[in-house]
Structures are given as C-alpha cells and as structure tokens.
C-alpha cells in the first residue's frame, strides 16, 4: 500500500500541521530559541560549519517524525507482516521495522537516528512509541532535538484512501512542553510505486557550503 504524505515544512515555524499548541509555535526553551536563531542567521552560508547545516541537506537520516514529512512529494509504503509493520520511505531509501509483539524497548544506550520503535494496535489506529534517539536529526532546516526525545505516533486508518498521522513530541531538554503535529497521508494514484532516491548524486550543496 503506497501513500503520498500531504505534510510540508516551513523553516520559520517548523512543520506545517502543528495542532498543539494552538498558535502553531514550537515551545522552545530560551537557549534553544537563541540557538535556532543562530542557525537561521548562518544556514544559507555556513562557511564550513556543520553545526549550521540541516543533516537532511547532507543526505543523512531524517529522523522521526520528520521522515513522514521530509518532502511532500515523496511516497511512503506501509507493509504488514506477522508481528510487524514495516514502513518504507521513498526519501533516501529509509525504512522502519516496528515490532507489535509487546517486547520492551532496547536498553537506553542503544541509540539511533530514527530511535527504537514499539507498536500496538488500538482498533484502527497504529500507535508507535519511539525512544532512544541519538539526537542528531532535525525537525526542519532550523529546529533540532536532543537524545531525550520521545515521540508517540498515531497512524489512523480513516478510509480506503486516507491515513491520518499524528505525533506527540516530548523533549524536555529543548522544549518547554510537549507539542503535536498532524496531517494526512493520501493513497497514491493507481500504479504508483516508490522510486530510487539518489540524494548525493548531482548534489552540489555540500561543495558550495563547505568552501
């Protein structure tokens, strides 16, 4: 089953589709807001400073939940097999394997870009609890998180063509309170399939940014 996400991102306010807080603003701690402004002032001309560069612009992993909206024109495939749900993203060939058997999370010292996911079904909603992030991915070109990030995702089957996505984001190191995004995945046109995504091929951004 292949879907195309209907989300998008804006560098000034983060992912479009913030439903909590109601004003759509990411609730940053003061130090994080200052750091975000520093990135904004430098990301177009980082002069070789990797700390100002969005990891996704360097073809690194998007992280969670960004993998679900990293580009609004890429496909996303849901596959169910006994005991697991597998999520394939067209962007950068990323994949997530989510066990549904109730096993505990991996030890806290096992950290990764997309975190450690554990899923369960609540009627027509797949709930995915994700911990153990390495803190290296960003939410957009400016907004980062720490390794304290905890994300709870909800994929709700609305009808034959729509899955509603919702993610509650909690990182007390960077944010003053949890916040939430939501948007729909829409089924692709008949015959739609995931294509090869060559992020590095022909990418001139790194060459100019590292001068």
Q: What is the pLDDT of residue 3?
A: 39
| Residue-wise pLDDT tens digits, 57-74 | 888 899 999 999 887 778
List, in sequence order, every beta strand (DSSP E) within the chain. 2-5, 8-10, 14-16, 18-20, 75-81, 84-89, 95-99, 116-122, 125-131, 150-159, 162-170, 179-187
User: Running DSSP on this structure, what letter comes out for residue 64?
Assistant: T
Burial zone of 195 (CB within 10 Å; 0-12 exposed, 13-18 middle, 19+ buried) = exposed
List, in sequence order, every beta strand (DSSP E) within 24-143. 75-81, 84-89, 95-99, 116-122, 125-131
For the chain, the structural domain boundaries read 2-209
β-strands 116-122, 150-159 pairing: unpaired
| Residue-wise pLDDT tens digits, 119-145 | 999 999 999 999 999 999 999 999 999
Query: Biggest alpha carbon distance in the chain?
Result: 53
* Structure-block tokens of residue 72: 């609004």
| Residue-wise pLDDT tens digits, 79-114 | 999 999 999 999 888 999 999 999 999 999 999 999
| Residue-wise pLDDT tens digits, 143-160 | 999 999 999 999 999 999
| Residue-wise pLDDT tens digits, 173-199 | 999 999 999 999 988 888 888 888 878
């Amino acid at each position: 089953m292949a879907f195309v996400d209907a989300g998008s991102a804006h560098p000034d306010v983060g992912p479009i589709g913030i439903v909590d807080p109601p004003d759509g603003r990411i609730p940053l701690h003061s130090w994080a807001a200052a750091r975000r402004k520093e990135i904004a002032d430098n990301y177009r001309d980082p002069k070789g400073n990797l700390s100002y560069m969005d990891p996704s612009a360097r073809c690194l992993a998007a992280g969670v939940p960004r993998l679900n909206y990293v580009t609004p024109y890429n496909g996303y495939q849901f596959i169910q097999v006994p005991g697991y749900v597998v999520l394939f993203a067209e962007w950068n060939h990323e994949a997530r394997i989510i066990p549904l058997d109730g096993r505990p999370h991996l030890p806290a010292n096992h950290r990764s870009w997309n975190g450690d996911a554990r899923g369960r079904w609540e009627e027509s909603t797949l709930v995915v609890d994700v911990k153990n992030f390495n803190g290296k991915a960003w939410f957009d070109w400016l907004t980062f998180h720490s390794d304290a990030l905890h994300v709870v995702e909800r994929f709700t089957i609305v009808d034959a063509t729509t899955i509603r996505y919702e993610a509650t984001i909690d990182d007390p190191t960077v944010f003053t309170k949890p916040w939430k995004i939501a948007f729909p995945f829409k089924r692709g046109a008949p015959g739609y399939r995931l294509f090869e995504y060559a992020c590095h091929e022909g990418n001139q951004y790194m060459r100019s940014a590292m001068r």
